[in-house]
Chains A and B, each alone.
Chain A
Amino acid sequence: MLVGAFACAHTPQLLVRPATEDRDLVLRVQAAFARVNARLAALELDAIAVIGGDHVEAFFLDAVPALAVYAGRECAGTFGPYRYRFPIHEPLARAVVEQGIERGFDLLYTQGARLDYAFYVPLHFTMPAPPVPIVPLHVNVYLPPQPLPRRCYEWGEALGAILRARPERVALMASGGLSHFPGTDRYGSPDFDWDRDLLERLAAGRGRELAALTGAELDKAGNVELRTWITLLGAVGEARADVYCYEPSWHHGNAVVEWPL
């Protein structure tokens, strides 16, 4: 069963705050994460399937999968003093790989890749207690050529069908965005207008339109990571987004969203 759908920003400055970041803004985004945490707890989940855009952490240039599923026993990652280790919902992960392949998606699977902060920054703030197992789902967002938005949406449609047919209570969480340009000369000037227009469309249940975006449009808007949201949108269809927060910092459009199902 697919019982919940969320999207969360994951910028590391929300976890480890340098003096350059507005503390009140960080706390407001964390307050939105706390709402997600409460919702995840209320949903009595068996698993959280997290759709993340790897920051060249699980996959370096030795192998760059467009779409991948982590299907090991547990998944671990480190960030400075933080040490994360999450159990994986193995039956669900395996079902996603097997049925995804059956449905025509040539997925890579891994049982040992490292966990990227795209996954553990949101989970740091939103994982309910007691914790539930996860299934990390990778979408290549930073290493061109990335999968087309249309393909992400189609994968999301298949993923939604797979999850709805399962006995477990599962929440989907897309991690990433919104506009930011890490490492480029546009780092200090994200496209907040683009983000606000996007959020209005999502609140109106027009997520399907995002499948028609091009990779060039996403890159230009600082939204290469939106592929994780587009994947989730394929799974939730016409559901309307409840925007918990949109907090533009000097370098990042921080959004936290739920699609009530």
Chain B
Amino acid sequence: MSDRAHYLFPPARAYQLNRCLYAIKSDATFCARFLADPAAAMAEMGLSTEEQAGLSPIDRDALVSRGAHPYLVFMADLRLRMAREPGSLEYF
């Protein structure tokens, strides 16, 4: 375990990547497009080949090393799982 903070200032170079994670998390229309055609949705967001490889399927460490915010990775992943397997959850 390092002394590095868990949440860091998001580097500007990762803006598009974080924007794509945010859209998966918070924009149901984009999330549906991503589920239907990840490559097209990621291209729409202007992600690099390396960023696309880390996002589909989600590779947290690869994304975070490229400047993705860990929380956005976490919740984008959860939202995708909620959309793919809605029956696996208990709703209160």
State the A residues within 8 Å of B (CB).
12, 14-19, 23, 26, 30, 55-57, 60-61, 78, 80-81, 114, 124-125, 142-145, 181-184, 186-187, 216, 219-220, 222, 224
Contact = CB atoms under 8 A, between A and B. Distances in A.
A81 B60 CA distance: 26
A55 B76 CA distance: 12
Interface string B53-92: 0000000100010000111111100110110001011111
Interface residues of B, number: 33
B19 A60 contact: yes
A224 B6 CA distance: 10
A144 B8 CA distance: 6
Contacts of B36: none
B59 to A, nearest CB: 13
B5 A56 contact: no
Contacts of A55: 71, 75
Given A55-B71, A144-B5, A18 B19 contact: no
Given A78-B28, A183-B69, A183-B72, A16 B6 contact: no
A145 B9 contact: yes
B85 to A, nearest CB: 9
